[in-house]
Amino acid sequence: MGVNSLVLGVLAVTLPEWLVDLLVILFAVIVFMAGAFLVLDAWGLRNAARLMEAGSFV
């Protein structure tokens, strides 16, 4: 964790434009992963609700 902070600090001083691009890409990846997990969770909950309505849920 400390090494990451040191690297980001050096990049902020030497290559600020590249650092912004990197952080935007990381943020986009995190948002995409969160969205994918939410979709999968909603799909699983919908399937569980259908099973409970059908009486197949034990």
pLDDT at 56: 62
Q: How far apart are CA 3 and CA 34, in angstroms?
A: 26
pTM for the whole structure: 0.67
Asked whether the predicted pLDDT for residue 58 surpasses 90, the reply is: no
Spans of all domains in the chain: 2-54
Residue whose entry in the numeric block shows the structure tokens 């994918």? 36
Whether the CB-CB separation of 57 and 44 falls below 8 Å is answered with: no
Q: How far apart are CA 39 and CA 55, in angstroms?
A: 25
Tens digits of residue pLDDT in 1-55 = 789 899 988 988 998 999 899 999 999 999 999 999 999 999 999 998 888 888 7
C-alpha of 45 from chain center: 20
